[in-house]
Amino acid sequence: MKKPQSKPSYFNFRRLPHGVLVAGDLGGWALLTPAEFKLFSSGKLTKGPGLAKLERAGLISSRLDFDALCADWRDSNDYLERGPGLHILVLTQNCNHGCVYCQAGSGRGASMSPAAARRAVDFAFSAPVEGLTLEFQGGEPLLNWPALKAAALYARSKAAKTGKELALALVSNFSTMTEEKAEFLISNDISVCTSLDGPADLHNANRPFSGGDSHARAVKWIKYFQRRRGGLPPGGPSALLTVTRASLGRAPEIVDEYARLKLPYVFLRPLTPMGQAPKRWGEIGYGPEEFLEFYRAGLNRVLALNRRGVKIKEKTAFLLVKKILGSQDNKYVDLRCPCGAGLGQLAYDCDGGIYTCDEGRMLARDGDNSFRLGGVRDGYARIINSFPVKACALSSSLDLQPACARCAYKAWCGACPAYNSAAQGGFWGSMPSNARCRILTGVFDHIFALLAGKDNLNIFNQWLEN
Ligand code: SF4
Ligand code: SF4
């Protein structure tokens, strides 16, 4: 029998409407015609543009550049040698909104004392990282201003003493923002992010606020921070969107609202079954296909605006395109392998409890303590070696997930043990019936369909350049 002349290296594949995607473990990929794929998979593709693409992607086993492949892998996974860089301080469980999907705790609850906030900062600085981000969250963190101020000033002084790089961030509904607080945030270089669910009627229906018009408050302070900071990150305001059933069919309007407010990103993320959402799923939830229709309409609207010169990006597409087009970026902890639970982030609750991540902390509010690692009085080594960190690392390692191991999108994807626990009752979940996986598959399909068009590819490249 004749020996194959161009034996493929290990690959996964997916048939798409415009060709067959073949992808290696390290992120190399090529889109082949069905005829090229037939030759490639049988080791008989010996000439033509398809072969050149496959060689460059490291998919021909006899022509692998091991040095380049190893360097690439090391660069994109160097976070594994460090510790968690993102530290989320839940300053209070109190909130003055009654969002239909609340996942963080609305109504009255516990708050962190300034002393407890400083202890959390001490713990965060004990992580073996050169740079760290402290993010203030709630409930509504502005309702615990003394702890926020104490933690921010203490962290800045620790950064000066230790020489560690420090970024501070606030996630707030802005409803109790004042000029004095805003100026403190600006002078201490604390970036701000708020919630914006779209035009006023939609936002206010999703986010009832007993004190008045939530949308108007959010917009007022977005504009204030833009005026004071030039409107661009780092430091400029950003916003997060939660998509409910009421948002479906309104993706272009939502994108237009973000563009109108000159926000740099719109982040089209599906609702997760945590907090209030599972209890009201029949009213506010939807299926993966419904979300994907919304997503495609939203991303298409972003690209249409880009063609007219409007500068706005869709965050999920941005994160994925960045990885797919070759600049492996594993800062986003929910789309990496293993995921960022403990290894990339930690969340500190009001009682000093430490969790793998904010989602793990949210699950504890509903009585599931599987993601609790210990408390701030435990040492770093004990926390990072705790069982939930190991369980998350194993269950989010895609080579150990049977469906992911054979998925063409594995190199750029990530599994979420917290989502799996909430939706399917265990860290591992089951990808064939996992709604998050179905959504990610559909998002990747759409992005690869867009990448096949030169015009879209140019726009995505501009996103990366800027
Ligand atoms: S468990 Fe999920 S939410 Fe938590 S870090 Fe991992 S991917 Fe992110
Ligand atoms: S989660 Fe789904 S889309 Fe992602 S790698 Fe696993 S099977 Fe593929």
In-domain check, residue 438: no
Ligand 2 atom nearest residue 444's Cα: 3
pTM of the model: 0.94
In-domain check, residue 193: no
Q: How far is the CA of 439 from the centre of ligand 2 (A)?
A: 9
In-domain check, residue 368: no
The full DSSP string for 336-398 is SSS-SBTTTEEEE-TTSEEESSHHHHHHHHTT--TTEEEETTS-HHHHHTSHHHHHHHHHT-G
Number of domains observed in the structure of the chain: 1
For residue 49, give its domain range: 1-76
Q: Do the strands 238-240 and 353-355 form a parallel or antiparallel pair, or are they unpaired?
A: unpaired
Ligand 1 pocket: which of 332, 394, 396 to mutate (most atoms within 8 A of CB): 396
Ligand 2 pocket: which of 14, 409, 434, 443 to mutate (most atoms within 8 A of CB): 409
One digit per residue, the tens of pLDDT, for the chain of length 466 reads 555 468 999 999 999 999 999 999 888 999 999 999 999 999 998 888 888 889 988 999 888 888 888 888 888 788 888 899 999 999 999 999 999 998 765 556 899 999 999 999 999 999 999 999 999 999 999 999 999 999 999 999 999 999 999 999 999 999 999 999 999 999 999 999 999 999 999 999 999 998 889 999 999 999 999 998 765 566 579 999 999 999 999 999 999 999 999 999 999 999 999 988 999 999 999 999 999 999 999 999 999 999 999 999 999 999 999 999 876 666 677 888 999 999 999 999 999 999 999 999 999 988 999 999 999 999 999 999 999 999 999 999 999 999 999 999 999 999 999 999 999 999 999 999 999 999 999 999 999 999 988 899 999 999 998 7
Residue 410 near ligand 2, beta carbon < 6 Å: yes
In-domain check, residue 72: yes
Q: Which residues line ligand 1 (CB under 6 A)?
A: 333-334, 339-341, 345, 356-357, 359-360, 392, 396, 414, 416-419
Q: How far is the CA of 314 from the centre of ligand 2 (A)?
A: 20
Using a 10 angstrom Cβ sphere, with 0-12 exposed, 13-18 middle and 19 or more buried, the burial of residue 300 is middle
In-domain check, residue 113: no
In-domain check, residue 268: no
In-domain check, residue 38: yes
In-domain check, residue 341: no
Using CA positions, which residue lies closest to atom 7 of ligand 2?
404
Contact 94/139 with Cβ under 8 angstroms?
Answer: yes
